Amino acid sequence: MKKDAFISIRGVYSIEDDQDVVELFTTGKFYKKNGCYFISYDESEATGYDGSKTTLKVDSDRMVTLERTGSAKSQLIVERGVRHQCCYSVGLGDLTVGVLGNRIKSSLTDNGGNLEIKYSLDINALYASENEMFIRIDTSSHGAKA
């Protein structure tokens, strides 16, 4: 059963000595299907992906797949210890990026919880950045309405 959820996402992106932090607070859906948790939300103009929907598929602490559909289409696969080549839309076109999963930590339950993802990106096999995402899902009535 899909539940309404309040979703907070904190992304930390590091390139050499520079670090950028981005935070997003939104509402969406949270559910479990075939043993995996799914987090989905509509993107907005603020994220630069207005008209798109993002879905995260969480396969325990092993793998997380981010899929964006709609006006911007992308797929990133973060699997611990494995490098995947993925297609990522950046508005001006698509990039093929390498994604190496460093850490996935999930404390998700049927009522929400936390997800941490750490991964490295490369473009044309050249190191691009270290990335961390901290996601909190709240399905309680007060959290889902916020």
13 lies in which domain range?
3-144
pLDDT tens for each residue of 15-30:
988 999 999 999 999 9
Pairing of β 52-59 and β 36-42: antiparallel
- pLDDT tier at 142 (50, 70, 90 boundaries)? low
Write down the mean pLDDT value for the chain.
89
How many structural domains does the chain have? 1
pLDDT tens for each residue of 48-70:
778 889 999 999 889 999 998 88
Pairing of β 94-106 and β 83-89: antiparallel
The CA-to-CA distance between both ends of the chain, in Å, stands at 20
pLDDT at 145 over 70: no
Q: Please name the amino acid found at residue 146.
A: A
Question: Any idea what the CATH number is for the domain that residue 93 is in?
Answer: 2.40.128.20
Task: Give the Cα separation of 112 and 30 in Å (integer).
Answer: 8
